[in-house]
Each structure stands twice: as structure tokens, then as C-alpha cells.
Amino acid sequence: MADQMMAIAILLPVAAGFLVLAVRNYYVRNVIVIATAVVLIANSILLSLRGPFTYTPGGFDWGLLITVLDYAILIFYLYVGISLRNWLVLIFALTQILPLAYFEFVMKAHIEVAPAFVVDHLSLVMTMVISIIGSLICIFALRYMYDHEHHAHIEKSRQSRFLFWLVLFLGAMNGLVFANNLVWLYFFWEVTTLCSFQLISHDRTKEAIHNAARAVWMNSTGGTAFILAIIYLYATQGGSSALSMQSIIGGGIQSSIAVLPIALLCYTGFTKAAQMPFQSWLLGAMVAPTPVSALLHSSTMVKAGVYLVLRLAPVYAGTYLSTVIAIAGAFTFFATSALAVSQSTGKRVLAYSTIANLGLIIACAGINTPLSIAAAILLIIFHAISKGLLFLCAGTIEHQIWSRDIEDMEGLAAKAPLTTLITAVGILSMFLPPFGMLLGKWIALEAAYIVPLAAVFFVLASTLTIVFWTKWLGRLLQVLPKIERPFEKLSLSYSVPLWTLLTGIFVVGIGIGPIYQNFLRAATNDVVSGNQIIAVGLNNLILTTPSFMQRDILGLFPVWPLYLILIVALLMPLLLIRVKPKELRPVYMCGEQTGAIDTDEWLAEADRKTKFQLGGYYYQGTLGEKRINPWANAIAILLLVIMLGCGVIVL
Amino acid sequence: MMIKQFLFVLVILVGAPVVGGLLFGIDRRITARMQGRYGPPIIQPFYDFFKLLGKEHIAVSRLQFVWIYGYLVFMIASLIFLVMKSDFLLLVFLLGFAGVCLVLGGFSTKSPYAHFGANRELMQILAYEPVLLLLAIAIYAQNGSFLISEIFKQDKPLLFTLWPLFLAVLYVLTIKMRKSPFDISTCHHGHQEIVKGVTTEYSGPYLALFHLAEWYEIILLLGIISLFWTNPLWVGILIALAAFLLELFIDNITARMTVGWMVRLSWSVGLILGIINIAYIYYTKGVS
């Protein structure tokens, strides 16, 4: 039963993708995507309820198929590199295809890894995140792409193609988190890179293609490191049995020798998670239609990067590599949070915030205690929900004001109250108590003291996080004393994903105690122990539970009082107190306004009527990209070199 | 036990604004004396408060009152966390939310003066938040827990090991009390003010709420300072009161500085103090 469900998780999106590609009718296509989404969501929940299992598909030479497809993808990159005259793409396609060919034809590698798939609790958490949030984003994309093409006056619809890659992405991600065979994992890894290339370049503008090419070559350096790690493991650790993720994390190989391949694999994770200095590919990906960003940032792609680093945590536990990973992640968290302050484009703020939070998650993996691993898993979940919601909000806003600029969002509360309300809750959920992201940060800070430098970066980054979110929120919520307007109407394709994710923030946030007890505790256990006790039981390892969760066991549950505070502080005044129209006054402008109370006109010099305009501060001079990037990238590259150096020195 | 604790919290919640308001009255009186004036009665803040409460409700936006309520409630919540001897880190986060509410209150109007104030208040958060978070980490380093109740269990006062951070917290107190040289987003004694900073657009009962929140805030801050010497607690309280008087003195001998200067000072001197402090504990005590 479980194997069929796993097949559904991986292959259904592929099948649905091809079906969508073939169907040209808008409504039929919608039905297919929605049905796929519903099945995927239900499937992932049922799979999680069923629990961990392993599986090796038989009856067909899947390995051969995967090898053929590997080469097909790499040859496609060669083609992309040549046709765009982008030598970086070409070079890093070659650095993958040549070692791969060497591995298979010269070394005559015979790969037989059993089981091919191992689904543990971490995989289950990931597949829930991918299937549920990813599916919602696909539903959102239905209407979004329709509006997008409508607005751009595109004659020949390319929505089918777009949805094909979008849906396929989910299948590849599910495969990635289930795979135990490293060669297969590499294949799914490449498929996600391919999907992201196709989706980023979707609009076919020069900028889009250029940025997509950058995403490919940066991720290809990661792919190269992945192949080198595979070859190294195969050559030094006794053949294909070393290519099983389980044997690697379970200590089946001599870990003292295996530091170099692990460092290489972590490097691969860094590229995909867009850690500094690779942040530019994820920022460039912003040119794509917003559902792509939502998918890349919340549930797929970048989460694959953190998944790999997190998965490998037990192997590098206690090594210098671990400390360097913690510091590198924490540094990215800090530097990108500072960069986010200077950004005036909504999607770029979101992008920097994503990179920052991924840095936090990676730092948690590097800190490498049960507590920090628990924090990492919590952050993956909460970040996926909140960031998915925020990108969908950014898309909805974009289709209402046709701009991505934060300054253009001034006073959105008056124009589109419902969208603004949802966005505001989304933003609050990113950095304030009682929401999940903050709980994650709280636990991370508690765990971080082991690596004090990381803890200091956490502190600085958390503060900068407050600054850039509050600035944006301030621009959104600024309103003239106007009469209330009714909520705007949103298409169902927009509102269903938005409301679901919004509900998700609260359900997962409030229910975090029970969810942790029943589900995440096991996932943490699996990561920390390297799945060694998968069959025995989960209580062999004593987990240090965060203080608020320990008290949960005693029946005193201190997360809900925080929500109570939120209700008393914001929700109750919002619902109970009504400002009467006669109480409204114009703002203080020394009496120079002209006309009604909701005027924003005043008498400027020579009594000329002028609309007064307010703008946000962006601190370009101190925190701009030009000022920070050279330093930050240099430090980040240095940290990467040290990270890989850790692997070499141990040799 | 529960009822006793509940009553204790209730007493603090009623008592805090009374004491806080009195402290503000004393502040005005002492400041006046330092400036060679006579000064208002000590209970003047309460006269002002009730006068404001009795006034008509006036608003310049439909949302600003939400944020001023939020400011007040989160401030009270932080104080409850302190009184319940709960998690210090969470207390700092709640205090951060209170600050964010005040900023958003300023941003929620289309008023240039409120926006100035709000931007400056945000920079004030940027200046003091890292110091408070570092203090939380230092407390964790010292006691192995963020819980305030753990601090009370220690015989040796925190001040002995955390004195660099104590110095840093002193200027956080200056920022939070809106005293010179850090009375940047708004100030008390009409020093040199762009209208009234972040509170420009609040009037009547809503302004009264702001003052009420400030009274809670001063008690909260002095409470945090007294954590540096919890056994016996009265020493800590005396230290806090001394710090309060010191602030009044600093306020009267300095002029307001710029936002950039404040952030730079805090991110250099404050952070270095904090980092040295944590590094010292890390290397002497190790990971507990």
C-alpha cells in the first residue's frame, strides 16, 4: 500500500504534468490540476499517518531510465550553454557530464542500492510541506497565469507549458526527499534544477533567460560537487553500498575518511539553498511569474538544499565542519537580513528574507544538537507556510496594482483591505510572537550558545528582521482617514490558497505542542540518530525538548496564552471599537490642508496646491547592495573555502 | 498556589502604573529643580492622564487605535512575564512586539511628523533590541536557562559576571525612557522636538493609553535592571532606582543626538560589551 502511495507522490505529478501539457482548454486544465492537488494533499497526509517505510521498485530497470534521463538533462544544459553563448553554463554542464561518464564507463560502476527509497519521519514532514503547500501554489497559478497573460497581451497561451513544469516540480521534490540511492537523489536534484530553469525563463525576456542561466550554472557547480562526492564515496568506501544515504548517516562508512564528500554534499546544499555567495540566482529568479517564486521559496528547490544539509547532520556532528556550517549559515542569516533593509521591491525583500531564514535553518543543522535540529524542522515548516502565503499575497497585490514596488503599496489598506489584512498577518507571522517562525528562532537561540559566534549573528539578524518587516508593513497599512470600504472580491483560485495558508499559520502555530509530540519529535529523532532506531522505536534517544514543550507534557501549555495576548491586543480592538466618521480628523499639517478630512493636498510654497507624499527609508548608503555585497560575499566565500578545507585537511 | 500567584500578578498590574506615574512625576520635579524651576506636583502625570481620558475621541486613521492598544497590551504582557518569572527571551520578544506596535501606529496615518517619529522609533528598536537579546543569551550562558526564576535561585548576583552588559543595558534604559541624548522618536520635557514625534497624531484618550503604557514600561525596565541583583531583591531595586536617577542626570546634561549616531554607538560599543561579556563566560564557564 505504502509503495503505491509513494508512486502517487512521485509519478502522479509527472503524469498530470504531461496531461496538462496536452490539454489546451483552460477549464479542463484547471480540473486536472485541482484534482492532482487534492490527491497529492490527501496522499501525503495518509502517507504520514502510515509512518516510515522502505521500498525498492522492481520489474523494470529504473536505474537505466534514470541514467538516460541524467544524460538527457545534462546534454540539454550543454545545448543551453552553446545556444545562449553562456560559457559558465557550458563549463559546469561539462564538469558534470564528464565525471558522470567517467564514473559509469571507465570505473564501470555497478550501482545497486537497496532499499532505493527510505521514507523516514523527516521525509514525511518534507513531503507534507511539498505536497500541501506546493499544490496550493499550483492552484493559485491557474488564475494567476491567466491574468498574467491577459495583462501582457500574450497571443499564444503558454500556460500549459508553465503548469507542466510547475506540477512536475512537486514530483521531483517528492522523489528527492524519498530517495536513498545517492545516484537517484542526484537525478531528482537535477530535475529540480531543470524545472527551475524552465520556470524562471518562462517569460522569455532577455533578463528572464539570463537569470535562468545563472540559476543553472550556480546549481550546476553544486551538481558537480554532488557527482564528485558520489565518485569519491564509491571509490574509497567499497562500491555501491556506500552510495546509500542510510549507510552514510548511519555511520556505515568510516566517518573520519568521509568528511570530504560530506563537505562537498553540504556545498551542494548551499548552492541550492542560495546561501551567500550564491544568493544572486534566487534573487534573479524573481523575474519569473510569482507562483514560481512562491514555489521555489516555500516548499521546493531551496528546501531541497536545507534538506540535504539537515539530513547529513549526524555524519558531521562534532567535527569542525559542523561549526563552520553553523557560522556560515548564521552569517548568511545576518548579511541577507541587513541587505533586505535596503530593498524597495517587495519580492526582493521576500527573497532576502528567504535566504536569511534558510541560513538560520542551516545554522541550526550546523549547531547539531537535538534541540537545534528540532528548531530547524520547525522553521522549515513554518517558513514554508508563511513564505508561501506571502508570495501568493505579493502576486495578488501585483495583479491589483500591477507593481512590485513597496512604495506603490502605500495605502493598500484603503484599496484592497482583504489582501492587505492577509498580507499583514503573513508578515507578522514571520517575525513576531506568538507565531511559529518566532518560536523556531526562540529555540534556535536557546540552542545556539554552543557556537557563540552564531548566536551573536542570530541576535543581530533577528533585530534587522524586525526593521525590514515593520517598514514594509508600515507602508501597506498607511491610510488616510477615509470611510471604510467593503472587502474586495478575489477569484477562488486566489482566495482558496490564501485562506488555507492563513488558517495553516494559526492551526500549526497553536497546535505546535501536539504536532511536535506526535510527529516532529520522531522526525528530529530520525535526523539526529541517522535513522538507526527506525524499527525499534523512538524513545531510545532522550530528546532535550524546548522548555515550552516540556511544560506541555505537564498540561500547562504556554503557547496559547501568547495567542490570547494577540487577541486581546489587536483582534479585540479591531473588532470591538469602531471609529465613528464624526471622530475622524485630518492629520497635523499646521492647518495647511485644503478641502475634506481625507485630503492629502496642502498648500506648498506660493500657496500652490500640492499632494504631499511620504516615502519609506531604505538606508541605501549604509546597507545597500553595493556597499555590503563585496564584503559579505568575500566573507561567505572564505567560509565556503574553510568548509571545504575542513574536508581536505581531515584527509 | 495558583490563586496566590494570580492575586500577586493582579496587584502588580494595578500597582505598576501608580508607581510608574509617580516616577514620572518625580522625574518632572527633579528635572525642574536641576533647571532652576519649581516644577509641577508629583501627581501631575495623573492629573494629565485623567484630563486626557475625559476628552473626546479623535482619530486620524481607522487603525491607529488598534496599534496603541497593542502597544499597551504587549507592554503589560511583558510585565506579566517578568512578574511570573517566566522566559526572559520571550519577554524581550514581546517587548519587541510592543515597540513594533508603536511604530506601526505612527505609520498608520498619512502624517509626515508621525512618519518621522515612527522611522526613528524603528531605529531605536534597532539600537536596543540586540543588547537585550545579548543579555538574554548571557543570562542563558550564566544559568543554563532563559527562565527568570532561575536567576532568583542563584546566590551570586548577575552583576558580578554581567557588568559589561549592565553598562550596555543602562543606555538601553536611556533609549527606552526617551531621555537625551536618545530622546529621538519623541521626548518628555519638550527638548527639541519635531512636533511630537511618533505620538503626534494621538490625542485625548488614545494619548492617555500611550502614557499608561509608558508607566508600565518604566516599571518593566527597572524590573529588568533589578534582575542584576536578585538576592536580596531590595539591592536590585535600589540599583534600578539609582539607574533611574542617573538617567535624569544624563538627560539634563546632554543634548539630543542623531539617529545614525545612536545606532552606530549601540552597534559598536554596546555590541562589543555584550560580545566580550558572553565570550568571557563562554571561556571561563564553558557550555553548561
pLDDT confidence of A40, banded at 50, 70, 90?
Answer: very high
**Residue A483's pLDDT is what?**
53
Provide, as residue numbers in chain B, all residues whose Cβ is less than 8 Å from the Cβ of A477. Answer: 63, 104, 107-108
- In the 8-state DSSP scheme, what is residue A601? E
CA A447, chain centre distance (Å):
22
d(CA A365, CA A105): 36
Q: Which three cell numbers stand for residue A649?
A: 585537511
d(CA A138, CA A494): 10
What's the one-letter identity of residue A343? Q
B261 touches chain A (CB under 8 A): no
B239 touches chain A (CB under 8 A): no
Q: Is the pLDDT of residue A570 over 70?
A: yes
- In the 8-state DSSP scheme, what is residue B285? H
Place of cell 559546469: A92
Q: Is the pLDDT of residue A174 over 60?
A: yes
pLDDT confidence of A310, banded at 50, 70, 90?
Answer: very high
d(CA A580, CA A65): 69
Q: Which three cell numbers stand for residue A567?
A: 487577541
Residues with Cβ within 8 Å of A184's Cβ and at least 6 positions away in sequence, in order, are: A63, A66, A113, A116, A175
d(CA A515, CA A265): 30
- Mean pLDDT of the residues in chain A: 86
pLDDT confidence of B95, banded at 50, 70, 90?
Answer: very high
**Residue A155's pLDDT is what?**
74
Contact A587 B100 (CB under 8 A): no
d(CA A48, CA A481): 50
Q: Find the range with the poorest average confidence among A30-44, A127-141, A307-321, B21-35.
A: A307-321
Contact B111 A587 (CB under 8 A): yes
Q: Is the pLDDT of residue A135 over 50?
A: yes
Contact A586 B87 (CB under 8 A): no
B94 touches chain A (CB under 8 A): yes
Contact B73 A569 (CB under 8 A): yes
- Name the residue among B62, B103, B282 with its Cβ closest to that of A479: B62
With CA atoms as reference, report the closest residue to B30 among B241, B211, B175. Answer: B241
What is the secondary structure of B216-252 as a DSSP string? HHHHHHHHHHHTT--SSHHHHHHHHHHHHHHHHHHHH
Task: Give me the residues of B, 54-93, that contact A with CB < 8 A.
Answer: 56-63, 65-66, 69-70, 72-74, 77, 86-87, 89-90, 93
Q: How far is CA A216 from CA A73, A272, A351, in A?
A: 11, 10, 18
Q: How many helices and strands (H and E) does chain A possess?
A: 30, 4
- Name the residue among A452, A473, A547 with its Cβ closest to that of B87: A547
Q: Is the pLDDT of residue B191 over 70?
A: no
A346-384 pLDDT tens trace: 899 999 999 999 999 999 999 988 888 989 999 999 999
Contact A462 B110 (CB under 8 A): no
Residue A432 Cα, gap to closest chain B Cα (Å): 6
pLDDT confidence of A621, banded at 50, 70, 90?
Answer: confident
- Residues A572-598, mean pLDDT to the nearest whole number: 80
A433 touches chain B (CB under 8 A): yes
- Name the residue among A449, A456, A466 with its Cβ closest to that of B96: A466
A445 touches chain B (CB under 8 A): yes
Which of A570, A574, A622 would best serve as a mutation to test chain B binding (most B beta carbons within 10 A)? A570
For residue A602, the surrounding DSSP H or E stretch is: strand A601-603
A414 touches chain B (CB under 8 A): no
B40 touches chain A (CB under 8 A): no
- Strand, helix or coil for residue A345: strand
The alpha-helical segments, DSSP class H, found in A432-491 are: 436-448, 452-477
Provide, as residue numbers in chain A, all residues whose Cβ is less than 8 Å from the Cβ of B206. Answer: none
Q: How far is CA A624 from CA A336, A339, A475, in A?
A: 11, 6, 20
Contact A463 B74 (CB under 8 A): no
> Residue A207, Cβ neighbours under 10 Å: how many?
11
- Strand, helix or coil for residue A55: strand
Closest CA in chain A for residue B277: A452
Closest CA in chain B for residue A424: B104
Q: Residue B270 belongs to what domain range?
A: 2-285
Assess contact for A90 and A11: CB atoms under 8 A.
no
**Residue A252's pLDDT is what?**
52
Residue B41 Cα, gap to closest chain A Cα (Å): 31
B13 touches chain A (CB under 8 A): no
Closest CA in chain B for residue A564: B77
Query: C-alpha angle with apex A273: A269 to A274, nearest 5 degrees?
Result: 120
Of all residues in chain A, the percent with pLDDT exceeding 90 is 42
d(CA B276, CA A188): 46
Torsion angle in degrees (nearest 10) through CA of A346, A347, A349, A352:
180
**Residue A481's pLDDT is what?**
66
Provide, as residue numbers in chain A, all residues whose Cβ is less than 8 Å from the Cβ of B271. Answer: 456, 460
Residue A582 Cα, gap to closest chain B Cα (Å): 9
d(CA A539, CA A545): 13
pLDDT confidence of B246, banded at 50, 70, 90?
Answer: very high
- Name the residue among A562, A570, A585 with its Cβ closest to that of B60: A585
Q: How far is CA A583 from CA A14, A214, B203, in A?
A: 59, 56, 12
Residue B287 Cα, gap to closest chain A Cα (Å): 6
Provide, as residue numbers in chain B, all residues whose Cβ is less than 8 Å from the Cβ of A572. Answer: 69
Provide, as residue numbers in chain B, all residues whose Cβ is less than 8 Å from the Cβ of A450. Answer: 287
Provide, as residue numbers in chain B, all residues whose Cβ is less than 8 Å from the Cβ of A600. Answer: 110
Beta bridge partners of A118: A54
- Residues A613-634, mean pLDDT to the nearest whole number: 87
Of all residues in chain B, the percent with pLDDT exceeding 90 is 59
Contact B125 A445 (CB under 8 A): no
d(CA A295, CA A285): 11
Provide, as residue numbers in chain A, all residues whose Cβ is less than 8 Å from the Cβ of B62. Answer: 479, 481-482, 484, 579, 584
Of all residues in chain A, the percent with pLDDT exceeding 70 is 93
Residues with Cβ within 8 Å of A226's Cβ and at least 6 positions away in sequence, in order, are: A186, A189, A264, A265, A268
**Residue A355's pLDDT is what?**
95
Contact A462 B133 (CB under 8 A): yes
**Residue A482's pLDDT is what?**
65
**Residue A534's pLDDT is what?**
41
Provide, as residue numbers in chain B, all residues whose Cβ is less than 8 Å from the Cβ of A478. Answer: 107-110
- Residues A225-230, mean pLDDT to the nearest whole number: 92
- Name the residue among A433, A474, A586 with its Cβ closest to that of B104: A474
pLDDT confidence of B6, banded at 50, 70, 90?
Answer: confident
**Residue A493's pLDDT is what?**
87
Number of domains comprising chain B: 1
What is the secondary structure of A138-162 as a DSSP string? HHHHHHHHHHHHHHHT-SS--HHHH
Beta bridge partners of B109: none
| pTM for this prediction | 0.93
Place of cell 527609508: A617
Provide, as residue numbers in chain A, all residues whose Cβ is less than 8 Å from the Cβ of B100. Answer: 432, 466, 470
The 3-class SS string of A278-316 reads CHHHHHHHHHCCHHHHHHHHHCCCHHHHHHHHHHCHHHH
- Name the residue among B60, B103, B123 with its Cβ closest to that of A586: B60
Task: Give A562 or B222, the one with higher predicted confidence.
Answer: B222
- Residues A88-109, mean pLDDT to the nearest whole number: 87
Q: Find the range with the poorest average confidence among A355-364, A444-453, A482-491.
A: A482-491
pLDDT confidence of A256, banded at 50, 70, 90?
Answer: low
Provide, as residue numbers in chain B, all residues whose Cβ is less than 8 Å from the Cβ of A432. Answer: 93, 96-97, 100
Q: Is the pLDDT of residue A585 over 90?
A: no
Q: Is the pLDDT of residue A620 over 60?
A: yes
Provide, as residue numbers in chain B, all residues whose Cβ is less than 8 Å from the Cβ of A443. Answer: none
Q: Is the pLDDT of residue A625 over 90?
A: no
Residue B77 Cα, gap to closest chain A Cα (Å): 7
Residue B78 Cα, gap to closest chain A Cα (Å): 10
**Residue A522's pLDDT is what?**
82
Q: Is the pLDDT of residue A537 over 60?
A: no
